[in-house]
Amino acid sequence: MTTTPEPDGADAPTPGDGDLPRPAGAVSPVDDATSPAPAERPPTLGDVILALDVSGTKFAAGLVTPRGELIDRITRPIDHGLTANDLFGHLAGLADAMLVRAADHHHLGPVVVGVGAAGLLGPNAEAVSPLNVPAWREFPLRARLSELTGLPVFGDLDAKALALAEGWLGAAQGRQNFLAMVVSTGVSGGVVLNGQLLDGATGNAGHIGHIIVEPTGRRCSCGSRGCLEAEASGRAIEIITGRPPSEPSYEIMQRTGDLVGRAVASVCNLLDLDLAVVGGAVALGFGATFFNSAQAALDQHSRLEFSRGARITPARLGDRGPLIGAGAVGLRGWRRSLRAAR
């Protein structure tokens, strides 16, 4: 079943245990005094999730409702000169500030924490090692946030969080099968198949940045050669051109789109997909030139009967996507833990 939401997402489904979509009726108001403790009962419309996003360049904290509305947020650039603990202090400061705003301005008390973080990531963000945040290597993020907030904490990769968000309220709304990816400083992705967000053995399913697009190409941070991330990420573009990806030439925009389209075609052929939703500052910043070139490469390389006609489209949630995705990770973890407790 799918629903057609209002522009503000008021009637939108909420992400369950990777089930997309879930009818809005699954969220029902419960406000009587005999309700079980928060996070030991299903989410209700009076709840709010403390959403945290850890990218390579900034921390963000926000409040997300079970309908996917982002009602408040703050961000802070990551200071790469700090120690692991001081860096956590900055994130904790944002989380504390959001908890105070939730109580004082919104009269809400967050019941769970959802985290989207750049990889590499252990299951449920127990240990995080964001490639672009060298101070954190195997940093025990989930435990530290749990200690800080006293709330259940659920974490996942940022690109998987974005896949949940775009399937919930964005460009893949109502779709049961799609790829979501981020082309930014790095390149990452998440796959929804048969309505389920794929986790894989260690939670890292969807790493499209390490599909080989140039067999004799540049050395990748993963140790291989010619990965999409080594050729088409913001970092790679800066090294190749000597200029930041915010100042691209027409050729670079076209080449980046072409490489992304090739990788997307491989995924569509492999997994029987016909939609890829692409976000991230590089892809969205390059705009139509990037997307036209990516679509042309996808058309050229997805030639199977089921993958022919696959589309590549911009992510729709813009800069709200990461926090709405983190909120979706919190909801998904909440529902899973309820199911496991039964």
| One of 220, 232, 267, 298 touching Zn ion (CB under 5 A) | 220
Both tokens of 163, joined, read: 């896949």
CA distances (Å), origin 219, targets 129, 143, 214, 255, 340: 20, 35, 10, 18, 43
Which is closer to Zn ion, CB of 153 or CB of 227?
227
Instruction: Say if residue 202 is exposed, middle or buried (CB neighbours under 10 Å; 0-12, 13-18, 19+).
Output: exposed
Q: How far is CA 291 from CA 48, 236, 285, in A?
A: 35, 19, 10
Nearer to Zn ion (CB atom), residue 210 or residue 311:
210
108 binds Zn ion (CB under 5 A): no
CB 151 to Zn ion: min, Å: 35
18 phi and psi angles, rounded to 5 deg: 80, 0
Which positions from 221 to 240 touch Zn ion by CB under 5 A, shown as an x/- string?
A: -x-x--x-------------
Closest separation in Å from C-beta 226 to Zn ion: 8
Interaction pattern, residues 123-162, with Zn ion; x per rule: CB under 5 A? ----------------------------------------
Alpha helix (H) ranges present in 154-249?
A: 158-169, 228-232, 234-241
Sign, Cα dihedral of 182, 183, 188, 194: positive
| Residue pair 73/323 in contact by the 8 Å Cβ criterion | yes
Cα 299 from chain centroid? Answer: 26
The Cα 80–Cα 134 span in angstroms is: 8
Q: Smallest gap, in angstroms, from Cβ of residue 230 to Zn ion?
A: 6
Q: How far is the CB of 40 from Zn ion (least distance, A)?
A: 41
The smaller minimum CB distance to Zn ion, of residues 127 and 222, is found at 222
One residue of 22, 210, 262, 320 binding Zn ion per CB under 5 A: 210
Single out the segment in contact with Zn ion by CB under 5 A; choices: 133-141, 194-202, 208-216, 252-260: 208-216
> Smallest distance from the beta carbon of 263 to Zn ion, in angstroms?
11
Q: Report the interface residues with Zn ion, using CB under 5 A.
A: 210, 220, 222, 224, 227
